[in-house]
Amino acid sequence: MKPRIVVDMISCVGHRLCADLFPERITLDDWGYPIIDASAIPPELLSHAKRTIEACPTLALRLDKLR
């Protein structure tokens, strides 16, 4: 199973920090909310993904597993 980032859009308030920390997989819409690349995160980017999740001020990000 491969990890991917998932956002809880109800918890997210659009701080935009995630896109700054992990631009490889997260972009922003016109209102500053994250658009997540739902593909699996390769091992070389996993530490960046974890750092981004830990830095989210509203804890709206998490790692999920692709099957």
Q: What is the pLDDT of residues 9-65, one digit of tens each?
A: 999 999 999 999 999 999 999 999 999 998 999 999 999 999 999 999 999 999 998
> What's the rounded Cα separation, in Å, for the pair 60 and 67?
22
Residue-range domain boundaries for the chain: 2-66
3: left (phi over 0), alpha (psi -120 to 50) or beta: beta
Residue 1's pLDDT is 74
Residue 22's pLDDT is what? Answer: 97
| CATH number of the domain located at residue range(s) 2-66 in this protein | 3.30.70.20
> How much is the pLDDT for 67?
67
